[in-house]
Structure 1
Amino acid sequence: MNSNSEKLTKKEIRRVIWRSCQLDASWNFERQQNLGYSYAMVPVIKRLYKNDSKKAQTALKRSLDFMAITPQVSPLLMGINAAMEEENANNPEFDDSAITAVKTSLMGPLAGIGDSLIVGTLRIIATGVAIGFASKGNIIGPILFLLLYNVPGFLLRYYGLNFGYKYGAYFITNAEKTGIMDKVTYAASVVGLTAIGAMIASYVQLDLSGIMIGSGKFAEPLTKYLDMIMPGLVPLAVFGIMYWLIGKKIKTSNLLLGTVFVCLFISFLISLF
């Protein structure tokens, strides 16, 4: 880095922490928490790219990618993201595609850990402790729940962001020196694509079990034959069609309406048989 390099200050770090509390405020069905994530990253982008509007626009657009993560652990990812943006702002040879790759690859595992610790454990413990007071009409109940649930969550935000930023920057610096950044980017891309593939198989559903092949007692559902070709073939085909249509700049609202009509038409055809 040169003497004119851009560095984040404690001011930006604090602003990201507070803004991360609003991660779910603009949740949407298309990219879930992306708007809240982008909002939290704005102080970082403004600071690092204040003299380069083109890079600032690219970074802001990059921050609007799909995001699904436990809010309390999101600052850890934001800290790593901020460290990589800082390196990108000061190193012209830095490959900015690594930012998206690393963010995508870490999003899923962090969400799993966060859901287990926060939603599956901390929330239940806080509820169990507070419900005894609340059931007796004691005002201490809800107050205790809010404290037990939110104080550890906020501490996790604070230390998570600082940890992610500090060690994210340390890792990037050493990765650049040793020349392993390309391998890290490739590995992160593979993990990210694997996570996307798992999400497709889990969340994209099209039930074709009502369509039978054959007649009488030899009739078998169409899905059985499709799964013999490749398990999850139908969800993959649906995803592929949607991805292709989005690439053709078709509005998401039109895609949703079109999907509803297509599903109704398929249901009508199934009912005829």
Structure 2
Amino acid sequence: MSETITKKDLRTVFWRSYQALGCYTYDKQQGISYMRALLPVLTKLYPDKEKLKEALNRHNTMFNTTCALVPFCLGITCAMEEEYANAPEGSFDPQSITDVKVALMGPLAGIGDGFFWGTFRVIACGVGAPLAASGNILGVVLYLLLNLVPSTLTRWYGFRLGYRGGREFLARIQADGTLTKLTEAAKILGLTVIGGLVSSIVSVPVSLEIHMGGGSFILADVLDSIMPNLLPLVLSLVVYRFIQKGASVNKLIFVLLILAILLTWVGFFPMG
């Protein structure tokens, strides 16, 4: 039986959540900071070095959401890690911890950005900027209050809700078998989101025109007639395969950049 998380451990995790952008990378984004925030809890739950290493590897992955909602995700993760650490062998699938975290970050980012970047910050600037421009210090004070108070309250109560609600929720769904279904649903949702990102973000703009038998055709049109967004899909699968084999993401980025420059130079890609 592992040790139970204390209030002191949880407070440390919460304060570390403010460093969500402290180590922001291309491949993991907030992932390393998220793992660091969890370190006090993981160290307490897994005194065995191999178990701790397993937990660190589990969270050394890509994560990104609105900073104000990071504590909510951390609270749920703490609850799930505590449940896993104290569960009988084989009764709790640790993959569900990652699946739930990944499933939450996308929707929470959409909601959080809309509220904190598109609403509270805009209102705070609208109220505070005219006063500040006229030299009134109240403009700065009002901006900070209108912008930081909602964010701080969301962080604090979100973390508490994530941990306390997460424990009760996990106990209930584990007892009736819903956890297995939730894990599977989270996997499907994650794959669906990634599939949508591939078609909407990844671009392989082939402009090569081939001349044959007195006629010509554009290669991109032929490929799209076979399957829309075929090349972005192939490129994503190739990159994913290299990552699965342990290739450095940063090296892959530079390889793709150099390859794009060369293919543009020979006319395979358009110049503009």
Task: Give the structure-1-normalised TM-score.
Answer: 0.90
Query: Structure 2: 5+ residue runs without aligned partners?
Result: none
Three-state SS of the structure 2 residue aligned to 1:21 is helix
Structure 1 runs of 4+ aligned residues shifted over 6 Å read none
* Structure 2 CA distance for partners of 1:47 and 1:251, relative to 1, 3 Å: same
**Cα deviation per residue 1:240-263 (whole Å; 9 max; x = unaligned)?**
111122233333333222212211
Alignment of 1:127-206 (within 5 A): 127-206=125-204
* Structure 2 CA distance for partners of 1:219 and 1:76, relative to 1, 3 Å: farther
2:22 is the counterpart of 1:29: no
Alignment of 1:211-230 (within 5 A): 211-213=208-210, 221-230=218-227
Moved more, 239-248 or 221-230: 221-230
CA contact (8 A) 2:102 2:190 kept: yes
Q: Alpha-carbon deviation of 1:5? A: 5.0
- Which residue does the alignment assign to 2:255? 258
Three-state SS of the structure 1 residue aligned to 2:267 is helix
CA contact (8 A) 2:210 2:219 kept: yes
* Structure 2 CA distance for partners of 1:155 and 1:219, relative to 1, 3 Å: farther
Q: Alpha-carbon deviation of 1:207? A: 1.7
- Which residue does the alignment assign to 1:104? 102
Code of the residue aligned with 1:97 in structure 2: it is Q
* Structure 2 CA distance for partners of 1:272 and 1:187, relative to 1, 3 Å: closer
Q: Alpha-carbon deviation of 1:40? A: 1.2
Task: Give the structure-2-normalised TM-score.
Answer: 0.91
Give the number of aligned pairs.
Answer: 268
CA contact (8 A) 1:105 1:195 kept: no
Q: Alpha-carbon deviation of 1:272? A: 10
**Cα deviation per residue 1:123-147 (whole Å; 9 max; x = unaligned)?**
1111111111111122222232122
Code of the residue aligned with 1:87 in structure 2: it is E
Three-state SS of the structure 2 residue aligned to 1:206 is coil
CA contact (8 A) 2:63 2:105 kept: yes
Query: Structure 1: 5+ residue runs without aligned partners?
Result: none
The counterpart of 1:89, out of the listed 85, 89, 113, is 85
2:6 is the counterpart of 1:9: yes
Counterparts of 1:248 and 1:97, CA distance in 2: 20
Counterparts of 1:141 and 1:220, CA distance in 2: 61
Counterparts of 2:217 and 2:65, CA distance in 1: 40
Counterparts of 2:62 and 2:70, CA distance in 1: 13
Code of the residue aligned with 1:154 in structure 2: it is T
Give me the identity figure in percent.
39
Q: Alpha-carbon deviation of 1:47? A: 2.0
Counterparts of 2:216 and 2:140, CA distance in 1: 57
Code of the residue aligned with 1:56 in structure 2: it is L
**Cα deviation per residue 1:110-161 (whole Å; 9 max; x = unaligned)?**
1111111111111111111111111112222223212221121111010001
Q: Alpha-carbon deviation of 1:9? A: 1.9
- Which residue does the alignment assign to 1:114? 112
Task: Let me know the Cα RMSD of the aligned residues.
Answer: 2.3
